[in-house]
Chains A and B, each alone.
Chain A
Amino acid sequence: MSIARTQGGGRWLGVYVVAYLVFLYLPVLLIPLFSFNNSIQAAFPLQGFTLQWYATLFGNSALTGALLNSLVIGAIAATGATLCGITVSYMDLYGRSPLAATISAIARLPILIPGVIVGISLLILINLIGLGPSRIAIVLGHILVALPTTVVIMRSRFAAIPKTIREAALDLGASDWTTFRRVMLPLSLPAIVSAFMLAFLISFDEFIVVFFLAGTEPTLPLYIWSQLRFPKSLPTVMALGTSILAVSFVIAAAAEILRHRGLSATAPRPADPSQPKQTKRGELQWHST
């Protein structure tokens, strides 16, 4: 719904928004552009089309190892973060206990801690419990980094399910567990899949925390970091970066579409007006406590 009197201003704003989107996307799109450029320098004029940089990605055992690491760590960390996100937000909304509310608030706290401090605090912890820098340590770190996202997504999903549905199940004699498993989980399945995919992406792309927790087996972002020192490997990094960007775009797009489809599936607005209508990751506990 727009306001008629400011319609003229809307057109200029539209131009601004387009310019903003160009600023947002242009630098990132330079990576794919130069990944096909037949020159070791990322500079104009373009030197002609080539696929040779993509060819260098194959048969590189260090790269394959890093990719495999990232995939395995991403899948496990996303599973853990989604599980925690589901339970934490469900108990926050329906547990009616101060403990559950506290856990939910702390789970969203990492947004207010710079990554470097999350990294070093976990580094101290994993050394204390004798784990040391390892893949398990990275998994723990990534569960933590992805947790605010999964909690916020699941919380807004659970809040959007009309309260009457859960109450009907309980009134008809279903236990808490049955209500959770047979009613609430199926209703929030799109959000669960979406939370899992986004948590996977967060882990897959994460660099700041993993830097402190990796042992001898790097993840993909750490591999890229190690290659940035060598000007000669710049085109290879761009080819790899393009592939990663493509995968990220596809997964993120699928997750967003799923989440919106899930939200519109149960038509009624949240019954409780004090609930935020649709909290995205950007909206923190700031508003919703």
Chain B
Amino acid sequence: MSTLVATSAPEARSSQGFRVAMLLPGALVTFLLILFALGLVLFLAFRGNDGSLLGAGFTVANFVTVASDPLYWTVTLRSLIIAGLVTLATVVTAYPVAYYLAFHAGRRRGLLLFLVTLPFWTSYLLRVFAWKIVLAYNGVLNSALIESGIWSEPTLAFLNTPAAVVVTLAHAYAPFAILPIYVALDTIPKSLIEAASDLGARPFTSFRRVVLPNSMPGVLAAALVVFVPTVGDYVTPALVGGPASTMIGTLIQAQFGKANDWPFGAALSVAVMLVILCVVLVARFADRRFGSRT
């Protein structure tokens, strides 16, 4: 960073005013809406439910229930498995696309990048709704299969299954995974790959030993941006999942809705944030190990 000529004294005051004005909006939003609001959740998680806004008394009963009731273990485990499968599916399917964009797209790169980003900006609710009409009993998939003579009877097997949740979420979050991987692949110095092939590495070896390890930071970032929103999702299970695929987000939403036990919902939220924190820490650790270049 270049050294700047020191500003003289009279300018310092207006400079100070500028700094305060520029820091204020961000400070208000981040400290009040993010940190304070999350602090409230943490606070509420340790309160008893007496129907009032902030509850009464201090207790760890909420966490004891979360930890001891097998229902919450089942649902948490299910959420982790579904989010894990979705993350795996999106990252694995996105990687070749990102690879093509980085190394083979040529003149088409701009257009392709544009096409893979566009769905990102369309309504999440509509993307999930699209799968509902695809998978329904008298829906697109069933009617197409019967029309083409593959099946004679419509089947209930598509909608209201955990598999439907995985497919729908994987589709809804697919665009999230490509960009981080693409950026990581694109910033690999070309000389590294050329050096590998000059030293006699076959294309696959050079991919496995040079390209893949160097792109891991992007893969981990992609995994994180897919995992976090899916693990807490409640819309997809509600629309295509049915009762057998209730996720932890569904339970949190219910505590602040029908069940009306805000402190318990806050405790569930804290538990989810802890799980995410663990995942982030593992990802950071893995990132270090792969020697993040950036």
Binding site for B on A (CB under 8 A): 1-3, 5-6, 9-10, 13-14, 16-17, 20-21, 23-25, 27-28, 30-31, 34, 41-45, 80, 83-84, 87-88, 90-91, 95, 97, 99-100, 103-104, 106-107, 109-117, 120-125, 127-128, 140, 143-144, 147, 163, 167, 170-171, 175-177, 180, 198, 201-202, 205, 207-208, 211-212, 221, 224-225, 228, 234, 237-238, 241, 244-245, 248-249, 251-253, 255-256, 260, 272, 274, 276-284, 286-288
* Docked-complex contact A117 and B232, CB < 8 angstroms: yes
Question: In the complex, are the beta carbons of A95 and B203 less than 8 A apart?
Answer: no
| Segment of B58-66, B69-77, B130-138, B158-166 engaged in the interface with chain A | B130-138
Q: Chain B: which residue is nearest A27 at the CB level?
A: B130
Among candidates B110, B125, B183, residue contacting A224 with C-beta atoms closer than 8 Å: B125
| B40 and A144 contact, CB distance less than 8 A | no
Does A24 lie within 8 Å of B171, measured CB to CB?
Answer: yes
Q: Are A224 and B25 in contact (CB under 8 A)?
A: no
11 contacts between A and B (CB under 8 A): A5-B197, A14-B104, A41-B138, A87-B25, A88-B25, A163-B2, A171-B5, A175-B11, A245-B123, A279-B183, A281-B120
Whole-angstrom distance between the alpha carbons of A255 and B23 in the complex?
26
CA distance A177 to B23 in the complex (A): 13
Residue B265 CB within 8 A of the other chain:
yes
B100 proximity list for chain A (CB < 8 A)? 10, 13-14, 16-17
Known contacts A16-B96, A106-B34, A175-B11, A283 near B125 by CB under 8 Å: no
Q: Are B96 and A114 in contact (CB under 8 A)?
A: no
Given A87-B22, A252-B121, residue A143 in contact with residue B33 (CB < 8 A): yes
Q: What is the chain B residue whose CB lies nearest that of A129?
A: B32
A13's partner among B36, B99, B138, B180 (CB-CB below 8 A) is: B99
| 4 additional contacts (CB under 8 A) given A117-B38, A121-B269 | A1-B103, A103-B23, A175-B11, A221-B123
A110 to B174, CA, bound (A): 19
Q: Which residue of B lies closest to A244 (CB)?
A: B123
Chain B 30-57 residues near chain A, CB threshold 8 A:
30-38, 40-41, 44, 53-54
**Residues of the B chain whose Cβ atoms lie less than 8 Å from the Cβ of A212:** 256
The docked-state distance in angstroms from the alpha carbon of A256 to that of B112 is: 12
Which B195-211 residues sit within 8 Å CB-CB of chain A? 197, 203
Q: Tell yes or no: B260 within 8 A of A by CB.
A: no
- Return the chain B residue nearest A85 by Cβ: B26
Complex-state Cα separation, A143 to B276, whole angstroms: 23
**Which residues of B come within 8 Å of A, CB atoms?**
1-2, 4-5, 7, 11, 14-15, 18-19, 22-27, 29-38, 40-41, 44, 53-54, 93, 96-97, 99-100, 103-104, 106, 110, 112, 114-127, 129-134, 136, 138-140, 142-144, 147, 171, 174-180, 183, 187, 190, 193-194, 197, 203, 217, 220-222, 224-225, 228-229, 231-235, 239, 249, 252-253, 256, 262, 265-266, 269, 272-273, 276, 280, 287, 292, 294
Q: Is chain B's interface secondary structure helix, strand, loop, or mixed overall?
A: helix
Q: Contacts A111-B225, A283-B180, A287-B294 hold; do A91 and B26 have CB atoms under 8 A apart? A: yes
Question: In the complex, A62→B192 CA distance in Å?
Answer: 60
In the assembly, what is the distance between CA of A41 and CA of B99, in Å?
A: 40
Q: Kindly provide the distance from the CB of A176 to the nearest chain B CB, expressed in whole angstroms.
A: 4
Asked if B114 and A256 make an inter-chain contact with CB atoms under 8 angstroms apart, the answer reads yes
Give the Cβ gap from A191 to chain B, nearest Cβ, in Å.
15
Contact B26–A107 (Cβ < 8 Å): yes
The minimal Cβ–Cβ distance linking B49 to chain A, given in whole angstroms, is 13
Q: In the bound complex, what is the Cα–Cα distance between A101 and B5 (angstroms)?
A: 23
Instruction: Please give the distance in Å from B236's CB to the nearest CB on chain A.
Output: 10
Give the nearest-CB partner of A112 in chain B: B228
Are the CB atoms of B123 and A95 closer together than 8 Å?
Answer: no
A2 touches B103 (CB 8 A): yes
Inter-subunit contact A84/B26 (CB<8 Å): yes
Partner of A260, one of B32, B93, B110: B110
- Whole-angstrom CA separation of A17 from B178 in the bound complex: 11
- A116-B249 CB under 8 A given contacts A122-B37, A176-B18, A276-B183: yes
Other-chain residue from B34, B122, B234, B276 in contact with A248 (beta carbon distance below 8 A):
B122
Nearest B residue to A45 by beta-carbon distance?
B147
Pick the 7 closest A-B CB pairs, nearest first: A114-B232, A282-B179, A43-B143, A252-B121, A88-B26, A205-B123, A121-B37
Query: Contact at B179–A117, with CB atoms within 8 Å?
Result: no
Tell me which of A43, A127, A274 contacts B138 (CB under 8 A): A43
Let me know if A30 and B180 touch, CB within 8 A. Answer: no
Contacts of B14 in A (CB 8 A): 175-177
Nearest CB in chain A to that of B94: its residue: A20
- Report how far A24 CA is from B15 CA in the complex, Å: 49
A248 and chain B: residue at smallest CB distance: B122
- Given the complex of chains A and B, what is the CA–CA distance between A122 and B36 in angstroms? 10
B116 partner, pick from A21, A106, A127, A205, beta carbons under 8 A: A21
Residues of B within 8 A of A202 (CB): 121
CA distance A14 to B112 in the complex (A): 11
